[in-house]
Amino acid sequence: METVVPYKEIIDVIKESGGDAFKLCFQCGLCDVVCPWNRVRTFSMRKIVRQATFGLTEIESEDIWRCTTCGICPQQCPRDVQQIESGVALRRIATEYGVFPKPVTPIRTVSGSLIGEGNPLSEERAKRADWAEGLSVKMFTEGMDILYFPGCYLCYDPRLKKVARATADILNSAGVDFGILGTKENCCGESIRKTGDEELFKRLAKENIKTFIDNGVKKILVSSPHCYHTFKNEYPEFMVDFEVVHISQYLFELIHEGRLELTKEYGKKVTYHDPCYLGRHNGIYDEPREVLKKISGLEFNEMPESREDSLCCGGGGGRIWMETPKGERFCDLRVEQAMEVGAEVLVTSCPYCIANFEDSRLTLDVTENIEVKDITEIIQEMI
Ligand code: SF4
Ligand code: SF4
């Protein structure tokens, strides 16, 4: 009897952390069949679920940190086990005990940077609006139509700053009345929440919500599907309800209403990668494709694994901050898939996907064969 007690305690902690649905699993193994990890190494969500059901989770194991929250196994699970929520519950326990296996330790630096500077990249808060230098971008004031929220990677990462600048160019061309929060903007908190740090997520979310309310924000335009997901689906947990639009939706709207005219030709073969948090998590599949199809001269080739079946880039669930050895990166497989359909340009609409695909171009040595672009970068070239 004595040995049951500690196990029972762990089961209770898992339940309290939101992992109660684990008990519904009947071990069919469908999750393991579809999980992208099993393309690159062995990994079993089914086993994690089984161990957790008996309170036998090894919280020091790297396996509880693998799930990228891609959303493909919850689509298949016949028992609604909610693998993502349940998996995050296990990470909450590990985070609480401060147990991080070696490849996960960068999370410590990320957390410190989020607390101190409001971004995960160890960059200074004071530099958050530097990407907009030389562009006609105003600070948001009450009464403006739209707050543009670029998010951390577009504000600081040299490759992704180009996406923020392309977006501002497009908005200015279409005559959109918009502003940014600059140094008052904080990380949205989506990815740190998926690593199990609920307290830090709440802190970031509350600060952002206060800033939005204090500045009279009603409608938020985002570039990252991760910001989109958390503003739209998670911030309402704090009893707020902002209108949230992703740039791919907004581009579709601007073109459809005739506010943005695409005047040039794009004579290249293009494919589109559905980011997990735009596609599977939020059902936005058509707008980016419709936008690309409006471009004259562009040849669009779909990859076999697209829309609901899109292959994860590997960057969700906080994995963007963790070490993934060469040979285990899903993004490499995805870039190869894009080249297999003859694409010269792999287009997507998420900063994590772009960062990962740009890495793959280098490590696969295919920089001459394929380009990686955010959808806004192509539209910027067409106006
Ligand atoms: S698909 Fe669902 S029910 Fe089947 S093993 Fe995975 S978690 Fe369990
Ligand atoms: S959500 Fe995706 S990465 Fe996570 S276990 Fe399921 S299939 Fe694998």
Tens-digit pLDDT profile for residues 310-358: 999 999 999 999 999 999 999 999 999 999 999 999 999 999 999 999 9
- pLDDT at residue 4, rounded to an integer: 43
What is the residue-level pLDDT of the chain in tens, covering all 383 positions? 344 445 666 788 778 777 788 889 999 999 999 999 999 999 999 999 999 888 888 888 999 999 999 999 999 999 999 999 989 989 998 998 889 999 999 999 999 999 999 999 999 999 999 999 999 999 999 999 999 999 999 999 999 999 999 999 999 999 999 999 999 999 999 999 999 999 999 999 999 999 999 999 999 999 999 999 999 999 999 999 999 999 999 999 999 999 999 999 999 999 999 999 999 999 999 999 999 999 999 999 999 999 999 999 999 999 999 999 999 999 999 999 999 999 999 999 999 999 999 999 999 999 999 999 999 999 999 99
Cα end-to-end distance, the chain, whole Å: 72
Q: Give nearest CA residue, ligand 2 atom 2.
A: 70
pLDDT at 27: 96
The pLDDT assigned to 8 comes to: 67
At 219, list the tokens. 């409608």
The model carries a pTM of: 0.96
Closest C-alpha residue for ligand 1 atom 2: 77
CA 205 centroid distance within chain: 16
243 membership: H or E segment, kind and range? strand 243-246
| Atom number of ligand 1 nearest to Cα 28 | 4
Instruction: Pull the structure tokens for residue 336.
Output: 């190869």
Give distance in angstroms: CA of 43 to centre of ligand 2.
10
Q: Whose CA is nearest to atom 3 of ligand 2?
A: 67
Measured by CA distance, the residue closest to atom 6 of ligand 2 is 73
Look at residue 12 in the predicted model and tell me its pLDDT: 81
SS3 242: coil
Q: In the prediction, which pLDDT does 118 show?
A: 98
Give residue 82 CA to ligand 2 midpoint distance, Å. 10
Q: Does residue 84 contact residue 151 with C-beta atoms inside 8 Å?
A: no
The answer to whether the CB of 28 is under 6 A from ligand 1 is: yes
Helix (H, G, I), strand (E, B) or coil at 168: helix
In angstroms, what is the C-alpha Rg of the chain?
21
C-alpha 289 to ligand 2 mean position (Å): 25
- Cβ < 6 Å from ligand 2: which residues? 31, 34-37, 45, 67-73, 83-84
- CA 365 – CA 373 distance, rounded (Å): 17
- CA 45 – ligand 1 centroid, Å: 8
The sign of the dihedral angle between the CA atoms of 330, 334, 340, 345 is negative
Burial of 108 (C-beta count, 10 Å sphere; 0-12/13-18/19+)? exposed
| Cross-strand pairs, 221 | 148, 245
Distance from residue 31's CA to the centre of ligand 1 (Å): 6
Q: What CA–CA distance (Å, rounded) separates 144 from 200?
A: 30
The dihedral built from the CA positions of residue 26, 32, 33 and 35, taken in this order, carries a sign that is positive
Residue nearest to atom 5 of ligand 2 (CA): 67
Which pLDDT belongs to residue 58?
Answer: 86
The predicted pLDDT at position 7 comes to 63
The verdict on the CB of residue 31 being under 6 Å from ligand 1 is: yes
Select from 33, 39, 41, 83 the residue to mutate for testing ligand 2; criterion: most ligand atoms less than 8 Å from CB. Answer: 83
Q: How far is the CA of 47 from the centre of ligand 1 (A)?
A: 9
Choice from 23, 45, 46 to test ligand 1 binding pocket (greatest atom count within 8 A of CB):
46
**Cα-based angle 224, 230, 232 (whole degrees, multiple of 5):** 95
